[in-house]
């Protein structure tokens, strides 16, 4: 499958996730909309890159460290801004989005059942910041704060 076809698959409206809150029609972050941002949580004040899905945050630094996410640069998600990831270019962004969409798909158990899934605890409070910083500018959606809700009832 080429990258363009893989990207189209991530946008398929019928695609569902094992993160049940992402399947809610009212969700801002279904599996088709995985916004990148920087977050920290109460248990770990270190900022790092993550992706929102439903009412959850996926820690991309933890996924990369666990070998579940392949990126052409080491520790690119263990950063306090998106700049290093953005600098990798469109092909890297596409690849990561396709990999995440596969890992979060309802019929794929790799991440759902992985020990690495425990890196963000239910009930953690966090702030997600979606921007790149440069000399005197910021690009992105700002910041939102919330609490991680249980993925399973």
Average pLDDT over residues 6-27: 89
pLDDT over threshold 60, residue 49: yes
Q: Is 84 helix (H, G, I), strand (E, B) or coil?
A: helix
The reported pTM is: 0.74
**Percent of the chain at pLDDT exceeding 70:** 70
Architecture of domain 3-147: Roll (2.30)
pLDDT over threshold 50, residue 63: yes
Cα-Cα-Cα-Cα torsion 60, 64, 68, 71, nearest 10 degrees, comes to 100
Q: How far apart are CA 38 and CA 141, in angstroms?
A: 11
């Amino acid at each position: 499958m080429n990258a363009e076809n893989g990207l189209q698959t991530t946008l398929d409206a019928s695609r569902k996730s094992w993160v049940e809150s992402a399947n809610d029609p009212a969700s801002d972050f279904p599996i088709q909309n995985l916004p990148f941002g920087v977050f920290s949580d109460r248990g770990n004040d270190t900022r790092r890159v993550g992706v929102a899905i439903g009412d959850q945050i996926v820690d991309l630094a933890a996924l990369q460290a666990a070998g579940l996410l392949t990126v052409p640069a080491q520790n690119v998600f263990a950063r306090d801004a998106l700049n290093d990831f953005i600098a990798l270019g469109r092909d890297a962004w596409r690849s990561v989005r396709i990999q995440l969409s596969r890992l979060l798909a309802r019929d794929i158990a790799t991440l759902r059942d992985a020990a690495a899934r425990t890196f963000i605890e239910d009930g953690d409070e966090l702030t997600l910041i979606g921007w790149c910083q440069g000399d005197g500018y910021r690009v992105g959606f700002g910041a939102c704060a919330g609490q991680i809700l249980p993925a399973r009832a």
